[in-house]
């Protein structure tokens, strides 16, 4: 009896232009396009093994070794159903193919980064799930096509199907067929860019991205301005900056967009605060670091960005990593390794294999 099993892994991605707001909550269609960098260090990945077997009685998932529920009609069930649909199409065209789409699945997924790091693990998780099912089912699909399915698990997951610099184009079709991730540049294009992840707090965030986005869409007037008048131009400009390896422009837009995302969160009723005092102190440190560089006739050397939580990600070029790490350690000394309230998680080289 052959074994039908496949394993795939996918990394975390950190957005420079933030996705915030859904125009369709079931299909997970965003109100604006977004752009991210996929981190490629081995210690920030989800790895998923999927197995299909006629003896299995139900689809089942283990997350970090513990059974996790697959809620009927939920996001996980939707992704699995979409992948089975694609496999069924392959089988209907070739009668000799094993009927894998009819077998139940056992899926096991592990994150190799501590949950304590406070990083959104769902992006890597859903991307790895979809990639492992694509391998199991031997689907002739491109990463962009798979991103359409991963998107329905967690919006930002669609961007983790590519390495390097990735845009999620919001699309216009009501069925979501053109709401896909596309590559802006491969990671080899700009190997010098690094991401430093600073764990400010590993507390579970107060407002989930799903709840937060919904409330922002319903109550923020600033969001409309952002969607219509800000993001389209930023998407264009940052893509160009990436193509030209122009760190100064990349950094400026990344910080502006993080600021505007958190402004939109604050403009929500009731307001959402994701940053804390340490997050703001890191912003001040990076601003000062850049000011010294610019006043000496240089350019911006670092960019901070924050997702729906207080942890900082600092983008910089390889030549500045040491200096920034020593500044962070000096101003935010850690006493208890990574478990402290402020831990420097690591320096992630984007582009270093």
Say how far residue 328 (Cα) sits from the centre of its chain.
24
CB of 213 to ligand PMV, least distance (A): 7
Whichever of 216 and 320 has its CB closer to ligand PMV, that residue is 216
Q: Residues 13-50, buried b or exposed e (16+ Cβ, 10 A)?
A: bbbbbbbbbbbeeebbbbbbbbbbbbbbbeebbbbbbb
Q: Residues 57-92, buried b or exposed e (16+ Cβ, 10 A)?
A: eebebebeeeeeebeeeebbebbbebbbebbeebbe
Separation between Cα atoms, residue 97 and residue 103, nearest integer Å: 13
Whichever of 289 and 345 has its CB closer to ligand PMV, that residue is 345
Opening angle at CA 290, ends 238 and 324, nearest 5: 100
Whichever of 118 and 343 has its CB closer to ligand PMV, that residue is 118
Whichever of 289 and 304 has its CB closer to ligand PMV, that residue is 304
CB of 7 to ligand PMV, least distance (A): 23
CB of 209 to ligand PMV, least distance (A): 4
Q: At what angle do helices 143-150 and 122-136 cross, to 10 degrees?
A: 120
Q: Take residue 30 and report the two structure tokens written for it.
A: 């965003």
CB of 119 to ligand PMV, least distance (A): 10
Whichever of 18 and 45 has its CB closer to ligand PMV, that residue is 18
Secondary structure element (H or E) that encloses residue 53, with its range: strand 45-53
- What is the secondary structure of 118-169 as a DSSP string? ----HHHHHHHHHHHHHHHTT----HHHHHHHHTTT-GGGGGGGSSEEEEEE
Whichever of 87 and 226 has its CB closer to ligand PMV, that residue is 226
Interface residues with ligand PMV (CB under 6 A)? 15, 18-20, 34, 120, 122, 154-156, 209, 307-308
Q: What are the φ/ψ torsions at residue 106 (nearest 5 degrees)?
A: -115, 125
Whichever of 18 and 87 has its CB closer to ligand PMV, that residue is 18
Whichever of 22 and 301 has its CB closer to ligand PMV, that residue is 22
Whichever of 100 and 251 has its CB closer to ligand PMV, that residue is 251
Q: Take residue 308 and report the two structure tokens written for it.
A: 């729906």
CB of 143 to ligand PMV, least distance (A): 17
Helix H segments across the chain? 75-93, 122-136, 143-150, 209-219, 222-225, 231-243, 247-266, 277-295, 321-331
Say how far residue 335 (Cα) sits from the centre of its chain.
29
CB of 173 to ligand PMV, least distance (A): 20
Rg for the chain, CA atoms, rounded = 21
CB of 20 to ligand PMV, least distance (A): 6
Contact 352, 40 (CB under 8 A): yes
């Amino acid at each position: 009896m052959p074994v039908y099993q496949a394993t795939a892994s996918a990394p975390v991605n950190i957005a420079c232009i933030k996705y915030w707001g859904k125009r369709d909550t079931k299909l997970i269609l965003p109100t604006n396009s977004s752009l991210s960098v996929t981190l490629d260090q081995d210690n920030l990945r989800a790895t998923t093994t999927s197995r299909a077997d006629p003896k299995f009685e139900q689809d089942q998932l283990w997350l970090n070794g513990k059974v996790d529920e697959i809620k009927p009609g939920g996001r996980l069930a939707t992704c699995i159903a979409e992948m089975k649909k694609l496999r069924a199409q392959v089988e209907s065209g070739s009668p000799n193919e094993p009927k894998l789409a009819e077998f139940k699945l056992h899926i096991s997924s592990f994150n190799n980064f501590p949950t304590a790091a406070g990083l959104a693990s769902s992006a890597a998780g859903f991307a790895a799930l979809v990639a492992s099912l694509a391998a199991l089912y031997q689907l002739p699909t491109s990463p962009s096509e798979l991103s359409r399915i991963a998107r329905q698990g967690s919006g930002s997951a669609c961007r983790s199907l590519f390495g390097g610099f990735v845009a999620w184009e919001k699309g216009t079709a009501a069925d979501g067929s053109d709401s896909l991730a596309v590559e802006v540049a491969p990671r080899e294009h700009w190997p010098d860019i690094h991401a430093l992840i600073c764990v400010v707090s590993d507390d579970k965030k107060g407002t989930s991205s799903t709840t937060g986005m919904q409330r922002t869409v319903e109550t923020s007037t600033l969001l409309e301005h952002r969607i219509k008048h800000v993001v389209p131009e930023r998407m264009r400009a940052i893509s160009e900056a990436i193509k030209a390896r122009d760190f100064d422009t990349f950094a400026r837009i990344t910080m502006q967009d993080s600021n505007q995302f958190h402004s939109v969160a604050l403009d929500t009723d009731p307001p959402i605060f994701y940053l804390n005092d340490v997050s703001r102190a890191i912003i001040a440190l990076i601003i000062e670091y850049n000011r010294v560089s610019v006043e000496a006739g240089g350019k911006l050397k670092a960019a901070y960005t924050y997702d729906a939580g207080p942890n900082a990600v600092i983008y910089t070029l390889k030549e500045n990593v040491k200096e920034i790490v020593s500044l962070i350690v000096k101003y935010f000394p850690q006493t208890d390794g990574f478990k402290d309230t402020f831990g420097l998680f690591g320096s992630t080289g984007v582009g270093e294999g």
